[in-house]
Every structure is written in structure tokens, then in C-alpha cells.
Structure 1
């Protein structure tokens, strides 16, 4: 594998053409979200990512734009029902994960800030929560990198196995969407897994997950008090507001509905490309920097929320 990587590294022009070609392929219906993630991971190992810095910057914006676009395919009344049902579920799961995260961090003697970032990412919305909380707790670059690497790795696994588990357990579209929104860390993987399962699952998962993401605000305030960094600025996920506007436009303005299918198709293509870029950032070199204890913490919290929420849903 190293020889293959060295071969492409010595031919940067071909490396870039191959990477861009696969990225364009991910914009077509030929590639699903799980396949895009695997393609990105393979390209990172075999060829390398010639646009690593650019990709990291693009992922955040592309995901937000794609999520807003998905709002044009949703109905306000259905979304309110899903959000109402998932509110208490989300609150209880967030408090549970943060509590166990604190306990496990102490038991495994993990750095306090690293453990807190992993717990926050697992409890709310993966990379977005980590990015919002990191400046507040004054996290160092290596602490942020470890937390992001762990969360994105487990996200990737969830995206691949959740649809399989849901099918094996004969979960309904609604139940699967709710499970995804609660148990998968990052919005990109939640939407990707739900889109693979079905349109109703996608609507439930996206609505509940974005409602869950709003918990970044109270968690940020809590973090300011706990870490006593009162000069820190709280980041508000404004793109959720644009998602709500898109949903309202699609529900109450019939002329918008003529364009909605096209916008949703483009949004899904953007999401697939996002997952390709995320996969391309998951090299073995990055994963080796994580260490065993933070990984154990992340896995335990993920299993706790995944199995616990599934048992509540199917009971």
C-alpha cells in the first residue's frame, strides 16, 4: 500500500485528476453515501489526498448548504411532530452521555478537555459540537484532532452498519430515522444513513438531529461556567434557521414546490460529496494519533447511546 501511495505522490498531476474525477463521480446517482465514504477512505490510503487543507474547509460549508437544501423536501407539520417526539428523547440522551463521559474520563484517566470534547461530540452533533466547544474550553490543536478523529471514525462505521441493522430488525422508516438522529454523532452521517434507508427516515432523522444540534447553545453556556472561560464566544448554528425557512417555503408556497425536487437532488449530491471528503481525511496516520484510551471512551459512549436508544425505540 505504501508503494502505491509513493507512486501517486511522485505524480501529483495524476493524483489530483483521479481525486477530482472521483469527487465528480460522487455527484452522480451512481454513488450512494456509504460508497462515497468508502471511496474517500480508500483514496486516502492508496493515493493520498492532494487537497487535504481545502477539503477540511469545504466539508463544513458543503454540509450546511446540503442540509438547508434538504429542507426543501420536508413538510413543516411532519417536522414539528418528529421534533416534538424527539425533544425529551434528545434531552435525556444528551444528559446521560455527558454524565457517563465525565465518569469514564476520570476512570480511564483521560485528559479532561479531550474527554469533554469526545463526550460533547457524541452527545450532540459530532464535529460541529467539537468545533463549537473547543474555543470555549481553550482546547489545544492535538486535543481537537484526537476528538475529531475518533468521532469521524465511529461516524463512518455507523453510516455503513446502521442501515444493515435497521433492515435486519425490520425497523420502520420513522423508528430508524429517530434512532439515527439520536445514536449517530455527526449530521452528515445521520442524513447519509437515513437517506439510504428511505425518504421518511430522512425527514425524521434530519428534523430531530437539527433540533438536537440546537443543544450546542445551552452546552456552550454550561461549558463557559464549568471551565470558567467567560470571555469565550458562543457559536450559534445559524444554518438551522435557514433549514427551517426552506421547510416553511416548501410547505406554504406552492410555486416553490416546483423547484423543490431539483434542489433536494442537488442537496443529496452535495451530501454524498461531503462524505467522500470526510472519508478522504481518515487516513491510518490520523487514526494512529488517537491512542487507546480516548478510543475506548468514544466506543463505550457510542455503544451506550446506540444500544440504549434502540432498546427504547423498539420496546
Structure 2
């Protein structure tokens, strides 16, 4: 989307907040730049930056840089990532993701009574990679801005909770085996930054294993987007009384780019400066995304979703950890 003059001020504010959050994360590594950006964004967006002149740029910064970040994530993983996990590791991630999505969709519809779009966003965010997955899924299922922001906020807060709890509970749940601890963290925690932060609170070796498990979840992002797009299409077709297979949907450009970059990185010897830069840029745009979401997320939206959504996120986080521990005991 083209940047208009009315957007410049809001974009600058969001970028400054992102840089400040990244700086503060050096002093608060347990929390992470993404969480800091979202928390500060919510506070500032409801107090200091309430003037409507900031809104266009903040909304642009919330939506579009993350698309580039998602595309660049393809340069941070390879098919070798899958091979390194082994059959049991791959089975663990796939079963964890499928059951997480199934249970989150069930709970969303039956227990917490949220919209189908919100349940899908919660499923994608928890199963794959937090706000990046939600940003990828939202446009293909027709989710509105409030649904997207509330889901991101809930998933991010759940990730913060897991970040604080798993380093303490992990060794008691799966023992002191670094591979199993990496599976627990990499298979449950939402964003990449939170995975690294959580694992770092255990030990550096767990960071390596947790990142590998997390990368497989990211590799599955394209599949998840396509599945949810098809589900949304069928839901709409049923609502309109149409044949479900009659319509087509367009795959977002950044998902196509993600796959292309993944293939390039898997089969060509790309320089470290390319892959390293892609990782840094993707990470920063993830911070920009959370800063923008925080700045645009109003207290009224949080109040309207209230205890119901926070409970939805908490129960989902508990389920993911319990499921991961069971699968680890069975598969490893």
C-alpha cells in the first residue's frame, strides 16, 4: 500500500516506539522487545497519541511491514531444519499443531462463544508463530481489525505468561534433557522472540533446540493459511447458500514469497549476510507490528473482549503445555 503524507507522522511514532522497545529489551530480556512494544503501545495509544492525525500511519505500520517480515522468514529456515528434528520431532510438532488448532476452534465456538474468525486467529497464533501467523491468516478469512488486534493481544499476553512460567516448570515437567526442554518451549511458545527469550532463561543449548522446533512451526505457516482460507470460504459459501467449491481465493503475496525464499535457502548457498539480515529485518518488523497493534488497540476493545478472551488465551496456553508434555513422554 502506498504511503500517503497523512500517514508519515503515525509511522514515525510507531518506528520510534519500536526502536525504544528494542533498546529496553536489552535491560528486560525476559520480557522481549515484542511484548514491551505492545504494552507501551497500549499505554501510549490510549493516553498520549489519541489524536486522529496519528491514526492513518499507525494503522499502516500495524499491517504492512509485517507482511515483508513474514516473507523474509523464508530465508531463516531450510528443509534441513526438518531433517534435524528427526521423525519423532516432526511428529511432535505436527500433532501439537493439529490438536492445538482443533481444540482452540472447539473452545472458541462451544465454551467461549467467540466469532469463527477470532477462533481461527487464535488457533493460528497459538499453533504457529503468534502475531505473524495472525497477520497472515486475517486477510484470507476476512477478519476485521478489532478481531485481529484482540487476538494478537491475547496470544502475546499468553506468550508472556509462558515465558515467565516455563523456565521454572520445564525441568520439573520433562526433566533436564536439553532436547526435550527445547521441544517444550519451541512447541508451545508463540512468537520467535518469546521462544528465544524463554529458552535463554533455561540455558543456551535449549535456545538452539527450541529455535529448530519453532522453525518447523513457521515452515507450516503456508499450509495453515491455505487451510484456514479454505475453511473461511466454505463457511461463507454455506452462509450464502452457495456451493463451497465454486469460489477461489488468492494466496497472499508474502506467503508465496515465503515459500520461494524457503526453497532458495534450501537449495542455494546463500551468504550469511543475506540470511542474517533477513532474520534481523523480520524480527524488527515483528516489533513494529506489535507496536502498531498496541497503539491501535483501545481500552474499549480490551474491555469489550474482557475476561472471556483472556480466559480463552489462558486455557489455550495451559492446554498447549499439557499436550506438549504428554506428546514428549510418548514420542521421546
Confirm or deny: 8 A CA contact 1:69 1:246 kept in the other structure.
yes
- CA shift, 1:54, in A, is 4.1
1:242 aligns with 2:261: yes
Alpha-carbon separation, structure 1, partners of 2:21 and 2:190: 26
Secondary structure in structure 1 of the residue aligned to 2:305: coil
CA pair 277-18 structure 1, distance change in 2 beyond 3 A = closer
Alpha-carbon separation, structure 1, partners of 2:75 and 2:102: 35
CA pair 109-177 structure 1, distance change in 2 beyond 3 A = same
Confirm or deny: 8 A CA contact 2:24 2:33 kept in the other structure.
no
Q: Please name the residue that 1:23 is paired with.
A: 19
Q: Please name the residue that 1:306 is paired with.
A: 321
Give the TM-score of the pair, scaled to structure 2.
0.67
Q: Please name the residue that 2:240 is paired with.
A: none
CA pair 91-101 structure 1, distance change in 2 beyond 3 A = same
Q: Please name the residue that 1:146 is paired with.
A: 150
Give the TM-score of the pair, scaled to structure 1.
0.70
- CA shift, 1:213, in A, is 2.0
Residue 60 of structure 1 is aligned with which of 60, 67, 72? 67
Q: Please name the residue that 2:241 is paired with.
A: none
Q: Would you say how many aligned residue pairs link Structure 1 and Structure 2? A: 291
Q: Please name the residue that 2:34 is paired with.
A: 37
CA pair 190-63 structure 1, distance change in 2 beyond 3 A = farther
Alpha-carbon separation, structure 2, partners of 1:299 and 1:147: 12
Q: Please name the residue that 2:4 is paired with.
A: none
Q: Please name the residue that 1:210 is paired with.
A: 218
CA pair 232-213 structure 1, distance change in 2 beyond 3 A = same
Q: Please name the residue that 1:200 is paired with.
A: 208
Alpha-carbon separation, structure 1, partners of 2:42 and 2:227: 39
Root mean square deviation of aligned Cα: 4.1
Secondary structure in structure 2 of the residue aligned to 1:291: helix
Secondary structure in structure 2 of the residue aligned to 1:185: coil
Q: Deviations over 1:71-120 (max 9, x none)?
A: 4xx7x545423264344333333332333334322233333433343234
Greater shift, 30-39 or 179-188, is seen at 30-39
Runs of 5+ consecutive residues of structure 1 not aligned to the other structure: 1-12
Q: Deviations over 1:239-279 (max 9, x none)?
A: 14413422443xxx4xx5xx42x445544543553454344
Q: Please name the residue that 1:7 is paired with.
A: none
Alpha-carbon separation, structure 1, partners of 2:98 and 2:18: 40
Alpha-carbon separation, structure 2, partners of 1:78 and 1:148: 27
1:221 aligns with 2:230: yes
Q: Please name the residue that 1:107 is paired with.
A: 111
- CA shift, 1:23, in A, is 0.8
CA pair 153-102 structure 1, distance change in 2 beyond 3 A = same
Confirm or deny: 8 A CA contact 1:34 1:192 kept in the other structure.
yes
Q: How does 1:146-295 map to 2 (within 5 A)?
A: 146-163=150-167, 165-166=169-170, 171-187=176-192, 189-190=194-195, 193=198, 198=204, 200-201=208-209, 203-216=211-224, 217-228=226-237, 230=245, 231-235=247-251, 237-238=255-256, 239-249=258-268, 253=269, 256=270, 259-260=271-272, 262-263=273-274, 265-280=276-291, 281-282=293-294, 285=299, 287-295=302-310
Alpha-carbon separation, structure 1, partners of 2:164 and 2:71: 22
CA pair 64-300 structure 1, distance change in 2 beyond 3 A = same
CA pair 219-112 structure 1, distance change in 2 beyond 3 A = closer
Confirm or deny: 8 A CA contact 2:14 2:58 kept in the other structure.
no
Q: Please name the residue that 2:3 is paired with.
A: none
